[in-house]
Structure 1
Amino acid sequence: MRLHISEVRDGDVLANDTFNSYGVVVISAGATMTSNILDDLNKHKIDYIDIMESNS
């Protein structure tokens, strides 16, 4: 599920690798989102990421 980073919550799990504008992986698939990771995404000007859908 594609979400704007403002909608992502601590504990969400990244579904796909996320790349910066130079094609370098910033966050790898399977990473659990934390406030530090979300800050890094902001620094790299990444607005949307793919989060794994929960089965709850």
Structure 2
Amino acid sequence: MALRIPQPPDAIETLLDDNGISIDSTAERESDALGAYTTYYVSDPFGYTIELIVTNEE
């Protein structure tokens, strides 16, 4: 599952950390549709990977 989140990356990192959610990995990406963005990969309690697409918008 992928979720697009229109927030600055540092806000998402703080939110995840404050809620005890570990970041499995990150990647800096760019696309024609979204421009530059950061992806964070986290695991849900069942072991599924969730991709958080952070587009640095507010």
TM-score where L is the length of structure 2: 0.32
Q: Which has the higher strand share?
A: 2
Give the greater-gyration-radius structure (CA).
Answer: 2
Q: Which has the higher helix share?
A: 1
